[in-house]
Structure 1
Amino acid sequence: MAEAQSQEDSTNEEEAEQPPTTTPAQSQEALPGAETETTLSSESNVTSIETSVNAEVKILPIIHSGESQIVETQLHEGSAHEEEAETQPSAPASRQQDPFAGLEKAFTFVRQKGGSVLMQCNYCLPVIKNVSSAVNSATNLRKHLEKAHPEKLGASENAGKGKKRGFFEELLDEDDDPPSIKMLKQQQQQQATLERWGSGKEQITQKILDRKIMDFIVDETLPLHTVDRPSFVGLVRLGLPKCLTIMCSKTLRDSIEKRAASMRERLLRRLGAVEHVATTADCWTYGKRRFLGVTAHWINPTTLEREFGALACKRLKGRPTYEALATTLCKVYKKYKIHSKVVCTTTDNGFNFVKAFRFFETKEPADAADSSTDDNVDDESDSDSDEDNDHRHEEEETDDEEMEVEFVPISEMLNAGNKAKDDTEDSGDFGLPPHQQCASHTLNLVATQEVQAMVTDSSSNSPLGLFRKHFCSLMGKCSKLWSKQEQSEQIAEYIHKQYGVYLMVPDKTRWHSTFEALKQLNELLSSMPLKLDTVMDQCSLARITTAESLVLQEYTEVMGPLAQALDILQQDNGMFMGYLLPTLYNLDRKLQSLEKEPSRYTYCLPLLKGIRKALRKRFAHIWEDKKLLLAACLHPRFKVDWLESAQNSHTNRCMMETLLKAEIRGTVEEAGDRSSEKDPEGASLEDEFFNIPPREKTPAEEDSVDEEVTRYLRSPSREVSLLHAFPRVMQSFLQYNTGMPSSAAIEQLFSTGSKVMTVKRHSLSDELFEQLVLLRQNRAVF
């Protein structure tokens, strides 16, 4: 057995070509797991020793005291190279001072080529500065620091004293990776630069960082204390130089106040550059807080495009009475210096808004003569708009009665009188601009309250009896179907599998969304009736009957023109007051054309007649409004051509052309009077001394105005840009079309407010809350 083992060992030695052996003492010094052989190339600046039969040099790394040491051993099998072997150290060699020690923070390794390395200076960032140096010398690097960053040189030298192992040498130890891995590491290292900011060439300053953080907090409506969270700070600090700091919530609050003030100044400059401004206003309640929102809208005289800005989101303390609304509106107008520029304020049909403008509106003499008639119409229409109007009115009367019998000291009466006087002076004597009721809100009332009233008042034997029966049953089934899809994920997926889409779930506060949901359901029922039955069975609901299906079809056809009118009036861009009357007249015309075909309807003909009657009643005070007629004719899309479709209008095409010419002549004369008022008083005295009579307008000038109006009306173009060719017409267009027919813009302001006013934000002051809402609402404008 021993002989066999000996033979096997000798065979292995021959196959290995007599590998060198180590002494027992040397083998004990090598720890388990350490490499037994390491060959260093000439690029690593270590001389490799070729092995021979007589003697070989092996480099054994030894793990000792946490550092890697190199032990060189010699194996003697002959005496041919004894002198050479004696020159090699037999004890562990001590490491020399690393030339790059202390420069870790100053330079970043880029690449190595032969005996030189390329280093990037960290102190020169964002400018990329590469310095070339020898592998075993850092002279060039220190010279660069001495020349470009002398204040950093001392710190680098102190940090490198006594350090034996530098960062560059550690990089060399990892040089055993394949070329593909090296390239990947280099690419990852290059991608770790500041290219994530903009184009990568933008220099990051503290001002830019603060602005980006503020934009993020405001746009995403996040709590201010987000900037204090360690996770947020750690995320933002990635890739940033240490000299930049993340602002705290207190600094963010101060920055928001400064930006809000700057935004207000820019808004003031824009409003100061236009002559006519329109506003929208509405009240909003969140919890126990009430706010008054105000937005401004104007037409850019250069581009003739609609522009807007959010002016206020004021906290209303106490009940939102008509006096409080009027006072707050006047203060907002005075703050932005637009009190004399507002052509109208558009609100909903709320009782307090209507009453505020009724009492404090600054009426023109012509309007004041007809105030009694308008008030009666407004009372009738407004009484149906809010459910609690009568209740609130009784509360106000009760409060007045209690105040009559209450004894108040004379000092309090004097103080109250002085305060009321100050408030009156600050608000400009409570002079409010003309009031424009929101047309979209009125159309919603026609589609909801008027229809509900007709259905409720109808009996089983009335013309609406069958419609009421089937329509109520249909809405009950649809509501349950929508709820099933919202509550069950399985039902939702089943519906999507059957139709390829999900059912639209309406918002109960918006009739238009309910109509769109019913319209979608009618289309699915018409195209795939069997699938709808399957869906109803899957939801364990009663199927939609044939009568209910017919009611759904007729309802969507009758209410379709009204929904289309709402879409037009609620446009975000390109909406002018001139759209109102053409929209209403054509809506009435479409309903009239449907009414002329009674055979088409089995259930909804009484509904159609009732809707048309309610429409005429709700808008009775504006069908022949002179300003609205002029606004429509001054818009290039309509001119006077739309009057042909207004069959019920008492104003024909010829009358409107005459009215339009007279109005533009008056506007031109008024502009001339305003320019003459700017002349000094000395000019009139000199005219009197020299006996110079005042200049009267010549017939040729009047003819030029009429000619311009005629050319405008005959122009085939329907674009708003056409007005640039008719300056007198454009001046009147800006005056009559600046107003807004709908207050839909104010809903966006309150949508922003609801996002800002979260549970975590109840500690916000009223001023800071308003600043956050306005900054986010105006972010796309300023």
Structure 2
Amino acid sequence: MHPRVIHSLPKADTSNDGDEQSGKDTAPPPLKQAILSTPAITQRRLNSLVFDFIVNEVQPFSTVENTSFRKMVEGLSGGRSPVCRKTLMTHIEKTFPKMKEAITEILLHTQNVCTTADIWTAHHRSFIGITCHWIESDTLDRKSAALACERIRGHHTYDVIAAKISQVHAEFQIQGKVSATVTDNGSNFVKAFNEYGDSETEDGLEDTDDVQFDDVTTVLEEQEHEELNFFLPPHHRCAAHTLNLIATTDLDKAASQQGVSKKIYRSAKAKCAAIWNKAHRSSGASDVIEEIAQMRCVVPSVTRWSSEYHAIEKLMNLPESQLNEICEQLKVAKLHPQETVFLREYAAILKPLAYSVNLLQGEKNCYFGYVIPTLLSLKAKLSEKLTQVQFSTHILLAIIKAIDTRFAAVLASHEARMAASTIPKFRLWWLADDERESMRRTMVQEARLLNTEPSNDSSTTGHTSVGNEPEDDDDDSFFSFQSTQVTCSTAEDEVQRYLQDSDKTLTSLKGYPLIRALFLKYNTTLPSSAPVECLFSHGGLVFTPHRNRMTDKHFEEVLLLRYNRLYWTVD
């Protein structure tokens, strides 16, 4: 048996110079744990963070008085206390006007803007929301700001709407800069712009060449008793909302006209609605669907056709066996094979329509120039499906006809055609061959007008006082016979080069200053009023049943501060 050898490690020499080695072993000193020191937070910084949290995360004002919240903040800040509710409200009231001033300053240096407007009602209170949108001339990035979400009392009549919109435009000094105000198809909005807006609207009055003379005294007397007139910008109806009307009103009317199709259409949608109602009212029913189909059941919104379409599409993507099992488990009527065929056909043929609605609701990367190419592509794709359907031929024809009818003014609009032509993605490719030359000449003419606009620079403008002889420089400027020819050549050349360019990105416009200016002029307008609806979705978070006692003033301040978070900081 081998003896066990124990090897010992040499001891570390812990003796100091001049000291004798101790008889006892000295253990090495324990390692000290590194202490992470956090920089001290100032009270001002703490107040700013709490303010951001309350406003941007849509928290109740009472949160700052919550004991647990205060303990957490004090523990994280090294004993500093968060602001009280009264101080928080003071910060909001001070920050709100500064935010408005910042937005007004930006809009003062912006040439073209577009606004959207809508009315929202919740908890027996109504508010009119107005948002503003523009394109930065350097980067061509879309920018947005919320201008108002004011309380409306009483009836939402056209004159009340006109007064509010005119007031907000004047408050932010954008009266002469608004290319158009986009709203839904509500009759009160349409009448407001017909009465107080540009006469060249979709429902405008016809021009007349008759000259009428009125007695000046009579006119002045009438004006003394006449209410203040409001002058509104041109009005555009929301393209997405119009398509939504086509997909609901016009489609439902067409599907309900024929006997067999009418029965299948109504019974199939009723059975789908029964499934959605079960899933909406009972979590157990929703769990059944998720267990069988391995998916969440989509319950459509009542006012959104696209959400209903996607809900039908999701059901129709299920195998027939799973669909029947869901109906059996939920104890609702099963879909007949003909109804299933109809719904699958419905989902297939209307997919381009649902895509178009979602496309035109965009904000950052969608412009007014998208409207006509989208409508033309939609009509072409719907026409292609006419030979592929069994039950829905009359539905497709009705939708195509409704597009031509409801969008007749837009399809013939000079502004919409110019907007599409100045987007590199489309240029003139969306036009028929025999129409391209005419549109090219129109673009050249518009470019010439831009290139011959007089300069606002006082140093290059000859100011001649009354009774004085014009200076020689003024003579040279007046007797200029070559500038028009040069301008025409420049515009013609730039338009031709732009149309021959294959680059489809907006960055390509850097090489075409005249086309870029036309793009900014005609594409500032949005195709839909979706942004103001987004503003109201923020309002739904703020204006909850637990916080509906908030005053109208505080509600607007918090809502706009949250939407315009890029335009303010807390002092």
TM range (shorter): 0.7 to 0.9
Q: Hey, what does 2:393 align to over in structure 1?
A: 605
Q: Given the alignment of the two structures, is residue 728 of structure 1 paired with residue 514 of structure 2, yes or no?
A: yes
In 1, the alpha carbon distance for the partners of 2:459 and 2:198 equals: 23
Give the match for residue 420 of structure 2. 632
State which structure, 1 or 2, has the greater radius of gyration over its C-alpha atoms. Answer: 1
Letter in 1 for 2:551: S
Alpha-carbon distance, 1:468 to partner: 1.5
In the superposition, relative to structure 1, how do residues 340 and 685 fare at CA in structure 2: closer, same or farther (>3 Å)?
Answer: farther
Question: Separation in 2 of the partners of 1:221 and 1:689?
Answer: 65
| Unmatched 5+ stretches in structure 2 | 1-27, 208-221
Q: How does 1:569-584 map to 2 (within 5 A)?
A: 569-584=360-375
| Counterpart code for 2:66 | R
Deviation at 1:602, TM superposition (A): 2.1
CA displacement at 1:300 relative to structure 2: 0.7
Residue 560 of structure 1 pairs with residue 343 of structure 2 = no
The reply on whether 1:476 has 2:265 as its aligned counterpart is: no
Residues 173-212 of structure 1 mapped to structure 2, 5 A cutoff: 190=35, 200-201=38-39, 203-212=40-49
String of CA shifts for 1:27-55, please: whole Å, max 9, x gaps: xxxxxxxxxxxxxxxxxxxxxxxxxxxxx
* 1:593 counterpart = 2:358: no
Deviations 1:360-400 (A, max 9, x none): 1144xxx38993369xxxxxxxxxxxxxxxxxxxxxxxxxx
Whichever residue aligns with residue 372 of structure 1, its letter is: L
User: What is the Cα deviation at residue 685 of structure 1?
Assistant: 7.7
Q: Which residue number corresponds to residue 523 of structure 2?
A: 737
Q: Does 1:653 align with 2:441?
A: no
Match of 1:72 in 2: none
Distance 1:236 1:675 in 2: 56
Residue pair 1:283, 1:293 contacting (<8 A) in 2 also: yes
Query: Is the Cα contact below 8 Å between 1:551 and 1:603 reproduced in 2?
Result: yes
* Aligned counterpart in structure 2 of residue 547 of structure 1, from 326, 338, 356: 338
Match of 1:669 in 2: 452
Cα offset, 1:322, TM superposition: 1.0
The equivalent residue for 1:531 is 322
RMSD, aligned α-carbons: 2.7
Q: Look up the equivalent residue of 2:325 and give its one-letter code.
A: T
- Between stretches 485-494 and 674-683, larger displacement belongs to 674-683
Conserved 8 A contact 1:306-1:575: no
Alignment TM-score, normalising by the size of structure 2: 0.86
Deviations 1:399-453 (A, max 9, x none): xxxxxxxxxxxxxxxxx987976xx3xxxx4111100110111001001111223
Q: Secondary structure at the match of 1:574?
A: coil
Find the aligned partners of 1:613 and 1:304 in 2 and give their Cα distance: 36
1:706 aligns with 2:539: no
Aligned match for 2:240, one of 417, 440, 450: 440
Counterparts of 1:263 and 1:354, CA distance in 2: 31
Give the conservation status (yes or no) of the 8 Å contact 2:194–2:203.
no
* Contact persistence 2:424–2:506 (CA under 8 A): yes
Q: Residue 522 in 1 paired to residue 316 in 2?
A: yes
SS in structure 2 of the partner of residue 764 of structure 1: coil
Q: Aligned partner of 1:300: which letter?
A: E
Question: Could you tell me which residue of structure 2 aligns to residue 682 of structure 1?
Answer: 464
> For residues 705 and 675 of structure 1, do their structure 2 counterparts lie closer, same or farther at Cα, with a shift above 3 Å needed?
farther
**Offset of residue 513 of structure 1:** 0.4
Q: Which amino acid in 2 is paired with 1:538? A: Q
Unaligned runs of 5+ in 1: 1-112, 115-178, 194-199, 375-415, 459-463
Distance, in Å, in 2 between the alignment partners of 1:503 and 1:226 is 35
Supply the AA of the counterpart residue of 1:582: P
Do 1:632 and 1:638's aligned partners in 2 also have CA atoms closer than 8 Å? yes
List aligned pairs for 1:370-385, cutoff 5 A. Answer: 371-372=204-205
Deviation at 1:763, TM superposition (A): 3.2
Match for residue 695 of structure 1?
480
Distance 1:341 1:245, change over 3 A: same
Is residue 2:189 matched to residue 1:353? yes
Q: Which amino acid aligns with 1:523?
A: N
Change (3 A) 1:675 1:432: farther
- Select 1:248's aligned residue among 68, 74, 84: 84
1:498 match? 292
Alpha-carbon offset, residue 541 of structure 1? 2.3
The counterpart of 1:227, out of the listed 49, 64, 67, is 64
Pairing of 1:334-345 with structure 2 (within 5 A): 334-345=170-181
User: Post-superposition shift, 1:607?
Assistant: 1.2
Distance across 2 between alignment mates of 1:443 and 1:733: 25
- Give the C-alpha shift of residue 689 in structure 1: 4.9
Residue 678 (structure 1) shift: 8.0
- Give the match for residue 748 of structure 1: 534
What does residue 301 of structure 1 align with?
137
Residue 313 of structure 1 and its aligned partner are, at CA, apart by 0.4
How many angstroms apart in 1 are the aligned matches of 2:286 and 2:153?
A: 45
What stretches of structure 1 move > 6 A for 4+ residues in a row?
Answer: 416-421, 683-687
Does the residue aligned with 2:290 lie in a helix, a strand or coil?
helix
Range that drifts further, 677-686 or 258-267: 677-686
Question: What code does the residue aligned with 1:588 have?
Answer: K
Instruction: Name the structure, 1 or 2, with higher relative contact order (CA <8 Å, separation 6+).
Output: 2
- Correspondence 1:311 to 2:147: yes
Indicate the SS of the match to 2:246. helix
- Give 1:565 shift: 0.7
Which residue of the partner structure matches residue 45 of structure 1? none
Q: Which whole-Å CA distance do the structure 1 matches of 2:163 and 2:154 have between them?
A: 14
Local SS of the residue matching 2:300: coil
Q: Which amino acid in structure 2 is aligned with residue 333 of structure 1?
A: H
Give the secondary-structure state (helix, strand or coil) at the position aligned to 2:303: coil
* Secondary structure of 2:366's aligned partner: coil
Match of 2:6 in 1: none
Quick check: 2:424–2:504 contact (8 Å CA) kept in 1?
yes
Of 489, 494, 505, the match for 1:719: 505
CA distance 1:688–1:616, shift in 2 (3 Å): same
Contact 2:324 2:335 in 1 (8 A): yes
Report if aligned partners of 2:115, 2:182 keep a CA contact under 8 Å in 1.
Answer: yes
1:674, distance to aligned residue in structure 2 (A): 4.8
1:519-539 CA-to-partner distances (Å, cap 9, x unmatched) read 111111xxx222222222222
